[in-house]
Amino acid sequence: MKVTTDPDSGFCFGVNRAIQTADNELKKGNTVYCLGEMVHNQIQMDQLKAKGLKVITHVDLTDLKGKTVMIRAHGEPPETFQQAKEFGITVIDATCPIVTKLQQQINYSFTKGEKPDIQIVIYGKAAHAEVAGLNGNAGNAAIILHGENDFSKLDFSKPIRLFSQTTMDAEGYQLLAEAIQQKTTEVGNSDLVIHKSVCRQVSGRAPALRKFASDHDVIIFVAGNNSANGEYLFGICKSKNEKSYFVADIKDIDSQWFKDIKSVGVSGATSTPGWLIDQVADYLKKIS
């Protein structure tokens, strides 16, 4: 049985940068308080906590006067930074640069040179940490859409500036944008600006992953159970290869999956550490 690892799998740039930032601080012997889980992978989080990382919530900020708090790759709304300043908290900002740029674009649309009746629209998941940061840069007045079912929130006759959470499905965003464009055209509104804000590293994985899934008899997809990106990418694998299996680590692997097969592909989410993907691949090689 030949085992092949997907070369595009593992941490995206933003998550990897945040993990390295935390590791560097922990190696100095500093206590690192992280506002929310740094990555949606429990195994990686357990490792960081073992080194001294402490996960906190916004409620905890009032008790951390004079301490150091890290902002994860998802980013935070402006009010979080203001609150930290008021409490004398030192901030380590590990926001993904791509997210930071998007926050700035949204803030510009909200504050400068735009019409008073403009609608800032964000394609994303309302409960996602990144969306909270994006919305905060629009004065918490953005309209959050997860699909056409949310179109009742929009006035298609008024100006629209459309953005997307960086980790959303690029194909889904394109379809949504086309549907909004059709609606605005129907009512004679040409004041629609569609921003290309989906992360290329995330969106670019879909076509390659479809081929990777099709090229192997079995796919083992490694991700945390709370990873939205993992759920999305696993769905792509499953759509191309019915023998695709979702695992958090080697404990979830069933040897029965590999009877009479010649090749196994191992892939993972952008929130899955590379060392964990390699660990799964090494285990499969041992049992082959």
Residue 113 has pLDDT above 60, yes or no: no
Q: Of 69, 96, 123, which marks where a domain is finished?
A: 96
- Say yes or no: 118 and 181 in one domain: yes
Query: Mean pLDDT throughout 168-186?
Result: 94
Report percent pLDDT > 70 for the chain: 99
DSSP 83-125: HHHHTT-EEEE---HHHHHHHHHHHHHHHSS--TT-EEEEES-
Residue 81 has pLDDT above 90, yes or no: yes
pLDDT score for 166: 92
Q: Which of 25, 37, 76, 130 is catalytic?
A: 130
The number of distinct structural domains making up the chain is: 3
- Say yes or no: 277 and 223 in one domain: yes
Angle between helices 13-27 and 97-111 (to 10 degrees): 110
- Say yes or no: 186 and 118 in one domain: yes
pLDDT score for 160: 95
24-28, 78-82, 238-242: the lowest-pLDDT one? 24-28
Residue 86 tokens read as 């008021």
Give the Cα separation of 269 and 191 in Å (integer). 37
Residue ranges making up the domain that contains 23: 13-96
- Say yes or no: 91 and 104 in one domain: no
Q: Of 64, 96, 128, which marks where a domain is finished?
A: 96
Question: pLDDT confidence of 114, banded at 50, 70, 90?
Answer: low
- Say yes or no: 128 and 179 in one domain: yes
Task: Examine the residue annotation and report whether 130 is marked as an active-site residue of this protein.
Answer: yes
- Say yes or no: 174 and 255 in one domain: no
- Of 7 and 114, the one with more pLDDT: 7
Q: Of 198, 228, 257, which marks where a domain is finished?
A: 198
Q: In 204-257, which ranges are continuous DSSP H helix? A: 205-214, 228-240
pTM of the model: 0.88
First and final CA of the chain: distance in angstroms?
5
